[in-house]
Structure 1
Amino acid sequence: MTSAFDFDMTTLEGEHVPLSCHRGKRLLLVNVASRCGFTPQYTGLEQLWQDHRERGLVVIGFPCNQFGAQEPGDAARIRAFCSLDYPVSFPLSARIEVNGPAADPLWQWLSTQKRGLLGSARIKWNFTKFLIDRDGQVQSRFAPTTTPAQLRRHLEK
């Protein structure tokens, strides 16, 4: 695979969606969790989505339960959480793994395109973020501690 647009995702509702439907747009891909210390970032991610989607930004959340079992619910519980506790309107995938032999192929690719701290490809925690350019290439990788507000300057370039 040579571009993020070569991959597909399954939505939280079970719909198969090729990422090529977003070709020509920028993507912000984030592994998310409802019981994480970084969960309040949902609010900032939703604000980025609202402020930048008309300019071609697509935020997609990928629920992941690999870090401290912080996303234990099924699709219905995740949807309820993302409707009531942190209302978000950006797309959410079905729950995935981001590391190991069962890692989602997109996230395997992302983690090798831009390595993290000390050159590691491994995703270290929930709310790791990848910014994809309009050609489907990984532009930047951001640590979980990087807030959505801090991403604004990268989005406004």
Structure 2
Amino acid sequence: MSGKNPDYYNSVNNPITFSSDEVFVRNYNNFNLTYDELINNSQNTRLARRNERNGTNIIPRRQNAWVLYLRDKTHKSTGRDVKFQFKQIAKMWNEEPKEVTKIYEAAARLAAERHIEKYGSDYKYKPEKSFKTSKSLKNSSNLIFSKF
């Protein structure tokens, strides 16, 4: 046996243990965030802060390629005119070459794997229903039009 540490083959930075997506993403040098910051869920979202404050454990949604791209491009956002920034980033996303979108799609697959490791494979997004039902919306619109 060679003199290598037994954990060498399980090491996070050992290229032998990387998947093809991981090699693809790690070799891309134009990310604004680090690999781990990009793949892991953000700890600065409203949901993450609410979970921390209330001691709850509501599972965040999986990140898709667009969400990862948006997070990567807004990592140092000043917070002013966010609507304009999002429009600009959406335009940039639509103009990106296929190679770049494929990198973010590979990153999304890695983020999904990380999400499954952390929260389990039986996760399914279940949006909470609004308290306003369609009946109450219909009644309120009827009241408005009945006055005229």
Give the TM-score of the pair, scaled to structure 2: 0.27
Higher helix share: 2
Give the TM-score of the pair, scaled to structure 1: 0.26
| Rg larger in structure | 2
Higher strand share: 1
